[in-house]
C-alpha cells in the first residue's frame, strides 16, 4: 500500500513539474530579458554621464574641431564626431550635426541627379521636346514630320549665364498678354520647369553645375499650316534640361527659338 501511495505521489509530482515547466521557463526567460534591459540601461546611463562630464570641460575644443571640419567640407567627419557625444544631447553640437547632415543629404541628391542627366538626356528626347514646343506654337498643324531634323549637343558651360537669367525670370510674375509675345516668349511661358530647391540653388551659385544640365540644338523645318502643299518654315531651337522635382525625369526650357 505504501509503495502504491509513493508511486502515485511521485507520478503526481512528475506530472505537475512537466505541466509547470513551460510557465517556469517563460518566467526565467522574462527575468533574463529584464536583467539585460536593466544592464543596457545602466551602461547607457554611465556613458551619458561620461559624455556630459567630458563636454563640461572640453566642449569648446570639440565645437572648434567640428566647425573646422565643417568649414573644410568634411561633413561626414563632422557627423561622426558629433555622434560620439550624441548621448550628451548638447544643443550646440546637435545644431552643427544637423547642418552637416543636410549638406551630406544635398550632395547625395546632386550626385543622383547628375547620374540622371548623364543617363536620360538624349537627342531623341530633345527632338520630341522640340516637336511638342512647335505643336504648342502652331496648334493648327496636326501632321508634321521630324524627318530631316538634326540634333547637336551643346556644352552647357557656355550657356550658364543665359540659364541663370532664365532661373531668375521664373521668380517674376508671368506675362499674360499672349498677343504681345514673340514665339520664344510663348514657348517659354507654355512650360515652367519644376526643380528641387537644391538643384535650383546649385544652378544659380555653384562654380560649375554643368553636370546637372544638358542642352541640345535642334534644326529642321515645320509646316506653315495644315495645307498639303504648304510651305515649310526652317527653325532653330535651343533647349536645356535639368532634373525635375520628381527626381525621375528631366524638365526642359527653351533658351532660343528662330522660325
* Distances from the Cα of 133 to the Cα of 12, 29, 84, 94, 258, angstroms: 91, 71, 55, 49, 12
Return the pLDDT at 143: 74
Contacts of 212 (CB under 8 A, 6+ apart): 110, 113, 114, 117, 199, 202, 203, 242, 243
Q: Are residues 102 and 130 in the same domain?
A: no
Residue ranges making up the domain that contains 248: 121-258
* Domain-located, residue 116: no
Q: What pLDDT score does 28 carry?
A: 54
In a domain, 244, yes or no: yes
Taking the alpha carbons at both ends of the chain, their separation in whole angstroms is: 119
Whether residues 43 and 85 share a domain: the answer is yes
Residue 152 lies in a domain: yes
In a domain, 114, yes or no: no
What are the pLDDT digits (tens) for 137-194? 888 777 778 888 999 999 999 999 999 999 998 877 766 665 668 889 989 888 889 9
User: Are 93 and 150 within one domain?
Assistant: no
Residue with cell 505537475: 16
Q: Does the residue 72 lie in any domain?
A: yes
Residues 192 and 138 in one domain: yes
Question: Does any domain span residue 113?
Answer: no
Residues 164 and 91 in one domain: no
What are the Cα distances from residue 11, in Å, to 3, 105, 161?
12, 68, 95
Can you give 203-243 as a three-state secondary structure string?
Answer: HHHCCCCHHHCEEEEEEEEEECCCCCCCCEEEEEEEEEEEE
Last residue of a domain, one of 108, 142, 165: 108
**Number of domain units in the chain:** 2
Q: How far is CA 83 from the centre of its chain?
A: 23
Closest CA to 193 of 258, 133, 126, 244: 244
Q: Are residues 138 and 25 in the same domain?
A: no
Strands lying side by side in the sheet with 232-243: 150-154, 214-223, 232-243, 250-258
Please indicate, yes or no, whether residues 102 and 134 belong to a single structural domain of this protein. Answer: no
- Co-location of 77 and 125 in the same domain: no
pLDDT at 9: 47
Residue that is last in its domain, among 108, 138, 156: 108
Q: pLDDT-based confidence at 197, cuts 50/70/90?
A: very high
pLDDT tens digits, 27-56:
556 656 766 677 677 676 777 787 787 877
Q: How far apart are CA 133 and CA 90, in angstroms?
A: 55
Q: Are residues 165 and 218 in the same domain?
A: yes
- DSSP assignment, residue 167? H
Query: Are 126 and 201 contained in the same domain?
Result: yes
Whether 104 and 130 share a structural domain: no
The pLDDT of 227-251, averaged and rounded, is 86
* 255, 236 Cβ separation under 8 angstroms: no
- Per the domain annotation, does 222 fall within a domain? yes
Residues 247, 140 share a domain: yes
Q: Which of 84, 108, 132 is the C-terminal boundary of a domain?
A: 108
The answer to whether residue 115 is domain-embedded is: no
Amino acid at each position: 500500500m505504501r509503495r502504491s501511495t509513493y508511486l502515485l505521489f511521485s507520478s503526481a509530482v512528475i506530472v505537475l513539474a512537466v505541466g509547470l515547466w513551460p510557465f517556469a521557463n517563460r518566467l526565467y526567460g522574462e527575468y533574463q530579458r529584464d536583467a539585460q534591459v536593466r544592464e543596457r540601461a545602466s551602461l547607457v546611463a554611465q556613458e551619458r554621464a561620461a559624455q556630459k562630464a567630458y563636454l563640461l570641460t572640453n566642449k569648446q575644443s570639440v565645437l572648434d574641431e567640428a566647425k573646422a571640419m565643417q568649414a573644410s567640407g568634411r561633413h561626414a567627419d563632422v557627423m561622426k564626431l558629433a555622434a560620439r557625444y550624441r548621448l550628451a544631447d548638447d544643443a550646440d553640437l546637435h545644431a552643427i550635426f544637423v547642418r552637416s547632415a543636410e549638406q551630406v543629404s544635398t550632395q547625395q541628391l546632386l550626385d543622383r541627379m547628375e547620374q540622371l542627366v548623364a543617363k536620360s538626356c538624349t537627342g531623341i528626347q530633345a527632338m520630341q521636346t522640340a516637336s511638342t514646343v512647335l505643336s504648342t506654337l502652331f496648334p493648327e498643324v496636326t501632321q508634321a514630320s521630324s524627318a530631316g531634323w538634326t540634333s547637336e549637343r551643346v556644352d552647357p558651360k557656355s550657356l550658364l549665364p543665359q540659364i541663370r537669367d532664365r532661373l531668375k525670370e521664373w521668380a517674376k510674375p508671368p506675362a499674360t498678354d499672349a498677343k504681345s509675345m514673340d514665339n520664344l516668349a510663348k514657348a517659354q511661358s507654355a512650360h515652367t520647369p519644376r526643380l528641387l530647391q537644391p538643384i535650383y540653388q546649385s544652378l544659380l551659385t555653384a562654380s560649375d553645375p554643368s553636370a546637372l544640365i544638358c542642352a541640345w540644338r535642334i534644326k529642321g523645318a515645320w509646316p506653315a499650316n495644315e495645307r498639303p502643299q504648304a510651305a515649310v518654315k526652317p527653325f532653330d531651337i535651343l533647349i536645356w534640361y535639368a532634373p525635375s522635382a520628381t527626381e525621375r525625369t528631366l524638365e526642359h526650357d527653351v533658351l532660343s527659338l528662330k522660325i
